[in-house]
Chain A
Amino acid sequence: MRRGATIAAVAVALGVSGVWAYQRVPSRMEEVARWREIAWPFPRDGWPAGRAFRCDGACEGAELYVRAKRGFCNCDRGVADDDEVDRVADVDLINPRFAAGAPGEEVSFNEMRGRARRYDLDMSDGVRHAAIGVAVSRRCDLFVAAAQGRGEASAMQRAALAFLQTQEMKGWVLAALDGQ
């Protein structure tokens, strides 16, 4: 029993550190990705518009959309499962007919925890795009990000998360969550 518990604890620890390492290992795309701000491309909906960016670097053509969603009800549980990412992460703004390829994973950003998930999108021009959805929570508020592009989803996710970790974006996210 004790041995089983030890194995489980080690597995959990390795898993958590693995996720962390996976997020932090810089890729070529992360090193050279440059995100340029573009106009918010979606029609007005229930949440105020956020900010949109297009990648000019190694992730050429990928787009990233980020915004705060204040007043999210799951105040204590936060973003606890993949269904929550499907519901809130704004991937439906890109294309409402998205399908997840695999279970998501835990992510943390700006001391907020949540989940990220990868999707396949069949775009109207017949081209298949990869997309990611990210949702993290701060008490009753959410910060969400969605990205799409023709490149590989995991690399796009790393590039997007690296961009969100810049001082400028961290400061903007906190201000947006404060309603400023």
Chain B
Amino acid sequence: MFRCVLTAAGLVLFAGSTFVHAQKQTIGAPPEASNMKLVGTNDLQARSAYQPTIHHQGDRWIAYIGHHGGTDDVPAPVNPMTGKEEPNGTSVVDVTDPAHPKYLRHLPGQEGKYESGGAQMVRVCDGKSLPKGDPNAVYMLRTFGSEAHEIWNVADPADPVLVARIGGLKDTHKSWWECDTGIAFLVSGAPDWRTRRMTQIYDFSDPAHPQKIRDFGLPGQEPGATGAVPTELHGPISTGPNGNRVFFGYGTNKGGILQIVDRDKLLNGPKEPTPDNLRYPEISRMPMSAFNGAHTTFPMLDMPVAEFAEDKDGKTRDIVMIVDEAILNECGEARQMVWFADVTTETRPMMISSYTVPEASGQFCQRGGRFGSHSSNESMAPVYYKKMAFIAFFNAGVRALDIRDPYHPREVGYFIPSITSATDKRCIPIEGGARCKVAIQTNNVETDDRGYIYIVDRANTGLHILELTGPARAAAGLPRN
């Protein structure tokens, strides 16, 4: 009897240890993948990464990658190209040959750790596309830590030159820049506004001479208001003068709002930040559950939906993909995921579908770090636009979704990079201390016009360049590789 008990106990212990092992990423283990393949990598000098922007520059493809500030352990990693400790800023990587990315330059950012330092955001426009830009220049708009926005000329990506700076701010974040008009929707915290983040609209058609157009936010956020303060901005995406809409996403992991705004009224309407003037350009506002925020609001207008092809009306739909951002490690909050809203009738937007990674498919709540969505690709290049979306899902890597029927989005591929010795730990408080685990934290994703997918890691694991394979590739309409 005693022997039976011992055997049973042993089996239980073995099963338990196997279970734990299955959830834990280990250095040297292969990546986990389905219908996505690794093409090339770069360690990005072990800097925590936020936004990648891939720009076709002459006959080269250059990746500009924004970074968060450093960590408690390594506030300013050493740049091996200079031998100096440099606060995290912007990595410039030549990805013309995606199998062999070449690190060109690290442009330091603001001193400070985590969200307080670095240079998280980056957008790039050619001078020749901007109405009054230098046609020989290529302009990079980036945040400088939390305190400023900067424009650099990166015509020589290895030797950027500062062009302009807008400072005196706080909590700068996920801006948008129209390359054909130069209008920039900057996410900032203006000192007198009641919210951490709102919109400052600038005319950067001549990047050397920025012209302020107006401040914008939700009524109640403006200076001098009283009462409850609406959810803070995360980021806008504009469809430019032709689409004449700006889709604003408010919130991170709580109280999200999708706001649809008439761009022309926004730019040319009354600018004094009064409640009436702030309401004037708004077409509609869709509050989300208090459980979810809106990190990315990605418009896909006039999408043909095969299921509705025979219907007399509504064959095409205007869709906005909304991506929440997970914040807490090890599932310490409500699930942050992906939502699809049908905004065809603009004044009555409606959520129509959602997507999340099944937690049990990888025991992701046990792996360490954040599990849940963070962001999507924002490229509108034809290769994937309105067909395939890529979602950064922290410890579940990147997820490829077939969105041709946005009422029924379907995962068709994924890639979870291997951890390396550079991958940083993620901790949760436990009684009397902390418990830490090491896991991949895929933070942002972007695609280029060739169809390569670029994912970057918040936990310092670097850049991974991927391509679709198999059925996912076929779903995107790409030739076999």
Contacts and interface: CB of A to CB of B under 8 A. Distances in A.
Q: Does B associate with A? A: yes
Interface of A: 44-47, 70-71, 73-77, 83-84, 86-87, 92, 96-100, 175, 177-180
A71 B333 contact: yes
A178 B435 CA distance: 11
A97 B226 CA distance: 7
Interface stretch (B54-62, B252-260, B460-468): B252-260
B196 interface: yes
A75 B116 contact: yes
Interface string B328-342: 100011100000000
Contact of A44 (B112, B254, B290, B333): B290
B13 interface: no
Contacts of B412: none
B114 A76 contact: yes
13 contacts: A45-B255, A45-B290, A46-B255, A47-B254, A70-B332, A71-B253, A73-B252, A74-B196, A84-B196, A86-B194, A97-B228, A179-B428, A179-B429
Contacts of B252: 73
A152 to B, nearest CB: 21
Is chain B's binding surface mostly helix, strand, loop or mixed? loop
Interface in B177-223: 193-196
B116 A76 contact: yes
Contacts of B428: 179
Of listed A47, A70, A74, A83, residue having the most chain B CB within 10 A: A83
Nearest to A177: B429
Interface in B311-362: 327-328, 332-334
A73 B229 CA distance: 16
B195 A96 contact: no
Of listed B254, B255, B430, residue having the most chain A CB within 10 A: B254
B319 to A, nearest CB: 25
A76 B115 contact: yes
Nearest to A92: B228
B113 A76 contact: yes
Given A44-B290, A77-B116, A97 B227 contact: yes
B291 interface: yes
B431 interface: yes
A145 to B, nearest CB: 17
A150 B255 CA distance: 31
Given A45-B290, A83-B194, A98 B228 contact: yes
Contact of B226 (A74, A77, A99): A99
A70 B328 contact: yes
Nearest to B434: A178
A75 B232 CA distance: 16
Contact of A92 (B112, B227, B328): B227
B227 A71 contact: no
Nearest to B173: A73
